[in-house]
């Protein structure tokens, strides 16, 4: 099958976002597979290791998969937040924690030439580092998008999957206090990913 040009693909994605503005219901036929996708995400994040961590209900988490729909996630009594805002919140939180982990590794490795070289390598783009987390945990194809995957580039597919992770992280941040969430992200996402990526 001939892959469509990137411009055509982006145009297709824009049309997709416009076409779903009035579709808020989730297809029940996807329920079982949606549950499995959420389970994969929670397993990759090892949320069950944290006794004090509150995890949103499966109904709310499943909404996180549908990144092209104008859905809102319940994050408290009479409080809902849209997926677009949640995506931005999660993105900023992950970025902050990756930078914190990067600085920590820099400080620890400044006394060693090899460590310094590896520290300097950490100027990689955040997207490339985050993509390593997805590869390590086999989290490809977790986003629910109403376009066949073979019509989209790997880059766009990853961007949609990354939105899911951002939104799930933001959900957990709304349900738990900041200290718990930041420790959790450092332990389960940022530090393991950087260690694997740079052999630290």
pLDDT computed for residue 77 by the predictor: 81
Residue-number span of the structural domain to which 154 is assigned: 6-19+31-198
User: Residue 3: pLDDT band by 50, 70, 90 thresholds?
Assistant: very low
Question: How many domains are contained in the chain?
Answer: 1
How does pLDDT run across 109-126, given as a tens digit for each residue? 555 545 545 554 555 567
Query: 71-102 burial string, b = 16+ CB within 10 Å, else e?
Result: bbbbbeeeeebebeebbebbbebbeebbeebb
Better-scored residue on pLDDT, 13 or 71: 71
pLDDT computed for residue 116 by the predictor: 46
Q: What number of other Cβ atoms are within 10 A of residue 4's Cβ? A: 15
The reply to whether 25 falls in a domain is no
How does pLDDT run across 39-51, given as a tens digit for each residue? 999 999 999 999 9
Question: Does 102 have pLDDT greater than 80?
Answer: no
The reply to whether 1 falls in a domain is no
How does pLDDT run across 125-146, given as a tens digit for each residue? 677 788 989 999 999 999 999 8
Distance between CA 155 and CA 106 in Å, rounded? Answer: 29
Its pTM stands at: 0.80
User: What CATH number is associated with residue 58?
Assistant: 1.10.1520
Distance between CA 198 and CA 64 in Å, rounded? Answer: 30
The reply to whether 78 falls in a domain is yes
The reply to whether 164 falls in a domain is yes
Site of tokens 């219901």 = 25
The reply to whether 104 falls in a domain is yes
The reply to whether 179 falls in a domain is yes
The reply to whether 26 falls in a domain is no
The reply to whether 45 falls in a domain is yes
């Amino acid at each position: 099958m001939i892959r469509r040009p990137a411009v055509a693909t982006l145009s297709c994605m824009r049309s997709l976002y416009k076409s779903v503005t009035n579709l808020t219901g989730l297809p029940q036929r996807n329920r079982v597979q949606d549950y499995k996708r959420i389970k994969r995400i929670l397993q990759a994040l090892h949320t069950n290791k944290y006794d004090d961590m509150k995890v949103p209900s499966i109904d709310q988490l499943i909404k996180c998969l549908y990144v092209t729909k104008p859905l809102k996630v319940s994050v408290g009594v009479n409080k809902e937040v849209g997926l677009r805002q949640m995506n931005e919140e999660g993105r900023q939180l992950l970025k902050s924690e990756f930078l914190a982990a990067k600085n920590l590794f820099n400080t620890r490795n400044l006394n060693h030439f090899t460590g310094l070289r590896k520290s300097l390598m950490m100027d990689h783009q955040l997207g490339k580092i985050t993509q390593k987390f997805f590869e390590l945990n086999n989290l490809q194809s977790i986003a629910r998008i109403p376009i066949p995957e073979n019509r989209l580039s790997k880059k766009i597919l990853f961007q949609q999957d990354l939105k899911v992770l951002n939104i799930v992280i933001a959900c957990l941040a709304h349900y738990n206090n900041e200290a718990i969430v930041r420790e959790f992200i450092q332990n389960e996402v940022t530090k393991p990913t950087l260690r694997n990526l740079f052999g630290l």
